[in-house]
């Protein structure tokens, strides 16, 4: 059995949102990143279990998506601040942390359970795992339903555009031996 902890400096987690609705062309698709991550994992044979914690206060708007690229200059500072405020105070109002529990019987697949104050959902994840000397790199993408997490539809005034229910979470985590 091997106990590992997340290296927050060498790890990255991003959430990508997409706009929908009648005037969605006026809205931005966004990439939101977590500036703080903490967690741990246990490897036992081919199986694993672990937990990742993301403080809601650490979520920052990285920029607007242009296809798969992030344009870090597309938003005004005031727009970023307003999106981050709305995310903390309205969308994730009663949630201080996002908790992700992971479990799998192979290093290629696992189940991720995402928990926030308003609900929880479990999704399967295809993983890419690479041993890098004493550390382990875990990468993957999952799609989460905001509705299944108990999050009310996020929309602009008069409903002219909204955030689509499915958000994409992209992660690249580096785990190092505990201690």
Domain ranges in the chain are: 2-177
Q: Give backbone dihedrals phi and psi of 36, rounded to 5 degrees, phi first.
A: -135, 130
Contact by Cβ (8 Å): 74, 64? yes
Pick the CATH number of 2-177 from 2.40.128.110, 1.10.3720.10, 1.20.140.10, 3.40.50.20: 2.40.128.110
pLDDT at 156: 80
Neighbour-count burial of 98, counting CB atoms closer than 10 A to its CB (0-12 exposed, 13-18 middle, 19+ buried): buried
User: What value does the mean pLDDT of the chain take?
Assistant: 93
How does pLDDT run across 129-169, given as a tens digit for each residue?
A: 998 888 999 999 999 999 999 999 998 876 778 899 999 99
Task: Return the SS3 of 80.
Answer: helix
How does pLDDT run across 3-16, given as a tens digit for each residue?
A: 999 999 999 999 99
């Amino acid at each position: 059995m091997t106990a590992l902890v997340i290296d927050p400096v060498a790890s990255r987690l991003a959430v990508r949102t997409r706009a929908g609705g009648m005037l969605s062309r006026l809205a931005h698709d966004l990439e939101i990143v977590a500036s703080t991550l903490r967690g741990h994992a246990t490897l036992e044979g081919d199986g694993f279990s672990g937990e990742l914690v993301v403080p809601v206060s650490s979520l920052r708007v990285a920029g607007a998506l242009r296809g798969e690229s992030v344009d870090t200059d597309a938003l005004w500072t005031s727009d970023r601040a307003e999106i981050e405020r709305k995310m903390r105070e309205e969308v994730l109002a009663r949630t201080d942390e996002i908790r992700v529990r992971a479990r799998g019987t192979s290093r290629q697949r696992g189940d991720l359970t995402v928990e926030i104050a308003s609900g929880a959902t479990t999704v399967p994840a295809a993983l890419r795992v690479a041993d890098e000397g004493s550390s382990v790199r875990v990468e993957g993408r999952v799609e989460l339903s905001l509705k299944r997490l108990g999050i009310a539809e996020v929309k602009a005034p008069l409903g002219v555009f909204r955030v689509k229910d499915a958000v994409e979470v992209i992660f690249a985590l580096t785990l190092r031996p505990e201690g």
